[in-house]
Amino acid sequence: MNTYIKNGLLVGLSTLLLTACNDRLTVQPTQSIDASQALNTERDVQITLTGAYDGISDVNLYGGGIQYTGELLGDNRDVVFGGTFTTLDELWRKTVTTTNVDVRDLWLDSYNAINRANNVLANLDKVSAANRNNYEGQARFLRGSLYFELVKFYGKSFNDGTPASNLGVPLVLTPTATIGDADSRPRNSVAEVYAQVLDDLTKAEQLLPASQPASFAGTADPKGFANKVAAQAMLARVYLQQQNFAGARDAANRAITAGTFSLASTFAGAFTDTSPETIFKVLVTDQDGSNALNTYYGSTRVSGRGDIRVQTKFRQLYEAADVRGQFFTTVNNNVFTNKFNDRFGDVPVIRLAEMYLVRAETNLRLNTTVGATPLADVNLIRARAAAPALTSVNLAAVLLERRLELAFEGQQIADIKRTAGTVGTTPYNANNLVLPIPQREIDTNKQLTQNPGY
Single-letter amino acid, residue 111 = Y
- State pLDDT tens for residues 334-367: 999 999 999 999 999 999 999 999 999 999 999 9
Can you give the pLDDT at residue 27?
A: 35
Can you give the pLDDT at residue 220?
A: 73
For helices 228-242 and 245-257, the axis angle rounded to 10 degrees is 160
Can you give the pLDDT at residue 215?
A: 67
Percent share of the chain, pLDDT over 70:
89
Percent share of the chain, pLDDT over 90:
85
Distance CA 368, CA 370 (A): 6
pLDDT band at 31 (very low <50, low <70, confident <90, very high): very low
- Domain assignments of the chain as residue spans, ordered by start: 3-89+97-423
Average pLDDT over residues 233-256: 98
Average pLDDT over residues 249-271: 98
Average pLDDT over residues 208-235: 87
Can you give the pLDDT at residue 1?
A: 43
In terms of average pLDDT, the best of 13-22, 31-40, 316-325 is 316-325
DSSP code at position 301: G
In terms of pTM, does the model score above 0.85? yes
User: Residue 253: pLDDT above 90?
Assistant: yes
Can you give the pLDDT at residue 212?
A: 86
pLDDT band at 289 (very low <50, low <70, confident <90, very high): confident
Helix (H) or strand (E) segment spanning residue 282:
strand 278-282
- As a residue count, the chain comes to 454
Q: CA nearest 362: which of 235, 246, 232?
A: 246
- State pLDDT tens for residues 363-382: 999 999 999 999 999 999 99
Can you give the pLDDT at residue 217?
A: 60
Distance CA 454, CA 452 (A): 6
Average pLDDT, the chain: 91
Phi-psi region of 382 (alpha: psi -120 to 50; beta: other; left: phi over 0): alpha
Average pLDDT over residues 262-289: 94
Distance CA 337, CA 53 (A): 27
User: Residue 279: pLDDT above 60?
Assistant: yes
Average pLDDT over residues 149-153: 98
215 burial (CB, 10 Å; 0-12 / 13-18 / 19+) is exposed
User: Residue 28: pLDDT above 50?
Assistant: no
Average pLDDT over residues 169-188: 85
- State pLDDT tens for residues 68-85: 999 999 999 999 999 999
pLDDT band at 184 (very low <50, low <70, confident <90, very high): confident
Backbone φ and ψ of 80, nearest 5°: -120, 130
Can you give the pLDDT at residue 415?
A: 98
Q: CA nearest 352: which of 243, 259, 241?
A: 259
User: Residue 93: pLDDT above 90?
Assistant: yes
Residues near 448 by beta carbon (within 8 Å), at least 6 away in sequence: 2, 170, 186, 187, 437, 441, 442
* CATH of region 3-89+97-423, choose from 3.10.129.10, 3.40.50.300, 1.25.40.390, 3.30.390.30: 1.25.40.390
User: Residue 44: pLDDT above 60?
Assistant: yes
